[in-house]
Amino acid sequence: MSKIRVGIVGAGFIAKIHMDAFKENYPYFEVVGVCASKKENAERFARNYDIPVIFNNFEQLCESDQIDVVDICAPTNLHDLITLKACECKKHVICEKPLLGYHGEDKPDVERVGTEISKTEMYRKVMEKVRFLEQKIVSAGIKFMYAENWVYAPAVQKMKKLLRTSSGVVFELRAECSHSGSQASYSREWRTSGGGSLMRLGSHPVAAVLHLKAFEGIVRDGVSIKPVAVTAQTGFLTKMSALEGKDCYVVRGWEDVEDWSIVIIDFEDGSKATVFSTDVSLGGIKNRIELYGSNAMITANITPNNSMIAFAPGENVWKEEYIAEKLETKSGYSFPSFDEFWTRGFPQEMRDFALSIIEDKKPASDYELAKQTVQIIYAAYLSAESGKKVELG
């Protein structure tokens, strides 16, 4: 079998994770090219991973006859542009989360997109972009593979097996992705991030609960259970006046994006899901889902979990050894991740994408999940601004 030839757009943190996942699936993939906004970054990435071709831009990469799949590891505001070009060139797409957002691209003179443009307008424009992109993907006849690793996390996969076996009814799902804040400069402003903690972090748990409810419906009745309404609140907790003069160990300096959010999703069968996503949570990243059903309760601690426990009396005991993502200190008790890459589902994700191309089948994480996730997120922003429940059309 000839290998699937991949071109990566982007050379940052997530591109490295994808590259390692491709290497774990070496019988299927061959990464043949890379491009980045700064050519020196692409050159360094290519050297580190022995990638033979460096493209000048994503247009050139998409047009190359050496590429079968375009892997989008670029910032969110470029996702739809790169996907459209890939569609034009009839190339399959792997796209990092979230699918897309509103960045004030049509209003370059607005200084603070997040506070000066209504969420009603944002929601409408995002849904227009989502529908337009879907039309192009369908017309091009390409595979769109949504890189939502939570879908492939072993804990979530086991939760699905238990749910299938129990034949129970899911009353409620609770999910969270939180940590003490991104250090990336792009995350501070809506124009470059498309939203705050809900957009950056919430896309994971939102997608996971949507995926689980769809799975429940399919295994029981052959039809996925869809979301119908959203209620939400967002907050700017690191701007509280009580913090003045106090030590603060979480990231501050957010401009026009939120650092806290809660979203309640209503499903058509009457069940609920609650999603937390915040930048004000110390102690490392929390990736967690709880399921409450008619005959069972399941908790999936993706990270951290207590499969390994360590203690160090001082910060320098573990030196440069990696412990866990977003952990503020290595002293005291901690939960080292022995294989966070596998635990979070990255190699499993790429294997599914390879098989979806080879066997011409739908990936477990596809455009429908990407579309629903971004709709929930922007409906949540609208709900938080209006103080009302938003019905999903």
CATH number at residue 109: 3.40.50.720
| Whether residue 193 sits in one domain with residue 77 | no
In this structure, are 318 and 214 located in the same domain? yes
- The DSSP string of 173-234 is EEEEEE-S----GGGGSHHHHSSSHHHHTTHHHHHHHHHHHHHHHHHHHSS---EEEEEEEE
Q: Output the DSSP codes for 348-368.
A: HHHHHHHHHHHTT---SS-HH
**138 and 245 co-located in one domain:** no
**Residue 98 carries which DSSP code?**
S
Q: For the chain, how many residues are written? A: 393
Q: What is the average pLDDT value for the chain, to the nearest integer?
A: 96
Report if residue 362 sits inside a domain: no
Average pLDDT over residues 365-389: 98
Taking the C-alpha atoms of residue 255 and residue 318, their distance in angstroms, rounded to an integer, is: 35
The residue-averaged pLDDT of 289-313 equals 94
Q: How far is CA 72 from each of CA 8, 343, 358, rounded to the nearest angstrom?
A: 6, 22, 20
**How far, in Å, CA of 179 to CA of 187, rounded?**
14
What are the structure tokens assigned to 127, written together? 């849904």
Q: What is the pLDDT of residues 217-245, one digit of tens each?
A: 999 999 999 999 999 999 999 999 999 99
Structural domain span for residue 292 = 151-347+376-391
pTM above 0.85, yes or no: yes
CA distance 346 to 143: 19
104: CB partners within 8 A, 6+ apart: 110, 113, 117, 190, 191
User: Are 284 and 201 part of one and the same domain?
Assistant: yes
Residue 330 lies in a domain: yes
Domain boundary among 149, 168, 201: 149
Whether 40 shows a pLDDT value over 80: the answer reads yes
Residue 1, pLDDT > 70, answer no
In three-state secondary structure terms, 302 is strand
162 and 266 in a common domain: yes
Q: What is the rounded CA–CA span in Å between residue 328 and residue 334?
A: 11
Tell me the average pLDDT across 313-336: 90
Q: pLDDT at position 280, please?
A: 97
Asked if 165 and 280 sit in the same domain, the reply is yes
pLDDT at position 338 is: 80
In this model, does residue 184 exceed pLDDT 90? no
Q: Indicate whether 267 pLDDT > 90.
A: yes
Q: pLDDT tens digit string along 116-153?
A: 999 999 999 999 999 999 999 999 999 999 999 999 99
Residue recorded with tokens 């110390």: 282
Q: Does 31 map to a domain? A: yes
Q: Is the peptide bond before 98 cis (omega within 30 degrees of 0)?
A: yes
Residues 375 and 123: their CA atoms lie apart, in Å, by 8
Residues 160, 262 within the same domain: yes
Tens-place pLDDT, residues 45-74: 999 999 999 999 999 999 999 999 999 999
Q: Which of 56, 49, 46 is nearest to 20 (CA)?
A: 49
Q: Sign of the CA dihedral 10, 12, 16, 21? A: negative
Position 359 in a domain: no
233 and 182 in a single domain? The answer is: yes
Residue 273 confidence (pLDDT) above 80: yes
Whether 370 is covered by a domain: the verdict is no
Report the range of poorest mean pLDDT among 262-271, 329-338, 358-367.
329-338
Distance between CA atoms of 87 and 171, rounded to whole angstroms? 40
Residues 67 and 165 in one domain: no
Both 217 and 73 in one domain: the answer is: no
Element (H, E) at 301: strand 297-303
Phi-psi category of residue 366: left, alpha or beta, with phi > 0 → left and psi -120 to 50 → alpha: beta
Residues 36 and 74 in one domain: yes
For position 144, what pLDDT does the model report?
A: 98
Number of domains in the chain: 2
Point out the domain boundary residue: 149, 184, 219. Answer: 149
Whether 364 maps to a domain, the answer reads no
At 289 the pLDDT is 98
Domain assignment present for residue 353? The answer is no
Instruction: Reply yes or no: is the peptide bond before residue 347 cis, omega within 30 of 0.
Output: no
Last residue of a domain, one of 96, 128, 149: 149
Claim to verify: residue 240 and residue 334 sit in the same structural domain: yes
Give the count of beta carbons closer than 10 Å to the beta carbon of residue 263. 27
- Residue 371 in domain: no
Query: What is the enclosing helix (H) or strand (E) of 150?
Result: none
